[in-house]
Amino acid sequence: MVAIIMGSGSDLPQLEGCAKLLDSLGIEWESRVLSAHRTPEALDSYIAGLEKKGCQVIIAAAGLSAHLPGVIAAKTLIPVVGIPLKAKTAAMEGMDAVMSMLQMPPGIPVATVGIDNGTNGALLAAAIIGSSDVKVRKALAGYRSEKKEKLLAQYHGEVLK
Which residues belong to the annotated binding site?
8, 11, 38
Cα 158–138–55 angle (5° rounding)? 125
CA 31 – CA 83 distance, rounded (Å): 14
Residue 114 contacts by C-beta under 8 Å, 6 or more apart in sequence? 84, 120
**One-letter amino acid for residue 21 of the chain:** L
Binding residues for substrate: 8, 11, 38
Report yes or no: 26 and 82 within 8 Å, Cβ to Cβ: no
Question: Quick one: CA dihedral 93, 97, 98, 100, positive or negative?
Answer: positive
- Spatial strand order of the sheet with 57-63 comes to 29-33, 2-6, 57-63, 80-85, 111-112
Q: What number of other Cβ atoms are within 10 A of residue 119's Cβ?
A: 15
